[in-house]
């Protein structure tokens, strides 16, 4: 443990920014300041969490000294803010997705490398101990070679995000729609498990959600190297359930987010063997994510999701959206490995 707390600036204190603020405080290892353009929101959040330093703009905030910043503004603003922070030589935790376009990405990657900055992209499933345990088993070859990944997920979005019609979600340009808002988590988790997507085909549509026109139902077929994958996601079903099933040539493993467990089966017709983990409270994984970022700042670990990995998932997001918008919806998009 450091003798002094890390100085962390949270930029943007809407729903996810407020959660980051709260969870960095919960680590006991960080002193937090905020930067928020909305005066009323800034004052409310500063009062709620007893924040002494609350800034109206980033230029003013950067007149003070910080160790790192959390970027929690809408996704299309991530890179512009990250470039300004990189110029100031601040380490960064950037909310997912990394961006909505590749504009500025090469410059950011160069600045991060040249300044030796710690940058992590906030794909929070990497903080889930059940998924991490399944990943270790797969990487160790416990079930043999990965052959097929099946991802199925859905929830009733209006129940869990009732303000979806008034936030970034309404427009793909600001990070909205099911692909960039939800499916991107599954894509990143899968790439963590079995490597990058190198070809895909996709279909999606707006089916149910009222008050928006962005896609709320998505199907993707993909290849992660030699492993085949399928992804099915919607944001309107009653069950709040997500499963990732990894079929290998000597066994099958399954991660169930809603049950906080992973399971395996190696003999045909056998019963599943379960490894249960404590079902996390609302903030648990985000506190773990904050702690992992602080560990990276202290040189104790690599970033949980590196900038390069975040860029890779961003490219997949964009390829899916291109495929959806193409008149020939199932034309595969391929990229050199």
Task: Tell me where in the chain the CATH 3.30.360.10 domain(s) lie.
Answer: 128-279+314-334
Residues 8-32 have a mean pLDDT of 97
Residue 270 pLDDT > 80, yes or no? yes
Amino acid 331: pLDDT: 52
Amino acid 103: pLDDT: 97
Categorize the per-residue pLDDT at 282 as very low, low, confident or very high, splitting at 50, 70 and 90.
confident
Q: What is the pLDDT of residues 27-36, one digit of tens each?
A: 999 999 999 9
Tell me the percentage of the chain whose pLDDT exceeds 70.
96
* Least confident stretch, 3-12, 135-144, 239-248: 3-12
Q: How far apart are CA 269 and CA 222, in angstroms?
A: 28
Residue 1 pLDDT > 50, yes or no? no
Residue 328 pLDDT > 60, yes or no? no
Amino acid 198: pLDDT: 94
Residues 52-77 have a mean pLDDT of 97
Task: Tell me where in the chain the CATH 3.40.50.720 domain(s) lie.
Answer: 6-125+287-304
Amino acid 334: pLDDT: 62
What is the 3-class SS of the chain, one letter each residue? CCCCCEEEEEECCCHHHHHHHHHHHHHCCEEEEEECCCHHHHHHHHHHCCCCCEECCHHHHCCCCCCEEEECCCHHHHHHHHHHHHHCCCEEEEECCCCCCCCCHHHHHHHHHHCCCCEEEECHHHHCHHHHHHHHHHHCCCCCCEEEEEEEEEEEHHHHCCCHHHCHHHCHHHCCHHHHHHHHHHHHHHHHHHCCCCEEEEEEECCCCCCCCCCCEEEEEEEECCEEEEEEEECEEEEEEEEEEEEECCEEEEEEHHHCEEEEECCCCCCCEEEECCCCCCCHHHHHHHHHHHHHHCCCCCCCCEHHHHHHHHHHHHHHHHHHHCCCCCCCEECCC
Residue 332 pLDDT > 70, yes or no? no
Amino acid 2: pLDDT: 44
Amino acid 335: pLDDT: 60
Tell me the percentage of the chain whose pLDDT exceeds 90.
94
Residue 43 pLDDT > 90, yes or no? yes
Q: What is the pLDDT of residues 73-85, one digit of tens each?
A: 999 999 999 999 9
Superfamily holding 6-125+287-304: NAD(P)-binding Rossmann-like Domain (3.40.50.720)
Q: Which CATH class is domain 128-279+314-334?
A: alpha beta
- Backbone φ and ψ for 317, nearest 5 degrees, come out as -50, -50
The average confidence (pLDDT) of the chain is 95
Categorize the per-residue pLDDT at 106 as very low, low, confident or very high, splitting at 50, 70 and 90.
very high
């Amino acid at each position: 443990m450091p003798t002094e707390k890390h100085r962390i600036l949270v930029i943007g204190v809407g729903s996810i920014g407020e959660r980051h603020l709260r969870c960095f405080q919960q680590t006991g290892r960080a002193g937090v300041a905020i930067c928020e353009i909305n005066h009323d929101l800034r004052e409310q959040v500063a009062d709620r969490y007893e924040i002494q330093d609350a800034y109206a703009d980033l230029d003013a905030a950067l007149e003070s000294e910080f160790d790192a910043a959390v970027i929690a503004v809408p996704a299309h603003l991530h890179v512009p803010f990250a470039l300004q922070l990189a110029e100031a030589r601040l380490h960064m935790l950037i909310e997912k997705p990394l961006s909505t376009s590749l504009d500025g990405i090469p410059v950011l990657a160069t600045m991060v490398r040249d300044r030796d900055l710690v940058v992590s992209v906030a794909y929070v499933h990497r903080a889930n101990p059940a998924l991490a345990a399944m990943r270790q088993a797969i990487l160790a070859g416990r079930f043999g070679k990965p052959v097929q990944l099946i991802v199925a997920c859905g929830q009733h979005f209006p129940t869990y995000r009732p303000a979806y019609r008034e936030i970034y979600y309404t427009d793909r340009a600001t990070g909205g729609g099911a692909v960039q808002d939800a499916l991107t988590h599954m894509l990143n988790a899968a790439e963590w498990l079995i490597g990058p997507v190198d070809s895909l085909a996709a279909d999606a549509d707006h089916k149910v959600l009222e008050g928006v026109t962005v896609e709320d139902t998505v199907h993707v077929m993909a290849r992660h190297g030699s492993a085949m994958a399928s992804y099915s996601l919607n944001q309107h079903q009653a069950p709040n359930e997500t499963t990732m099933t990894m079929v290998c040539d000597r066994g099958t493993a399954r991660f169930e987010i809603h049950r906080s467990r992973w399971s395996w089966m190696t003999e045909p017709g056998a019963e599943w063997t379960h490894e249960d983990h404590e079902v996390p409270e609302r903030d648990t994984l985000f506190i773990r994510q904050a702690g992992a970022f602080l560990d990276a700042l202290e040189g104790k670990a690599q970033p949980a999701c590196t900038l390069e990995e975040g860029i890779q998932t961003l490219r997949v997001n964009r390829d899916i959206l291109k495929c959806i918008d193409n008149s020939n919806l199932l034309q595969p998009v391929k990229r050199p490995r």
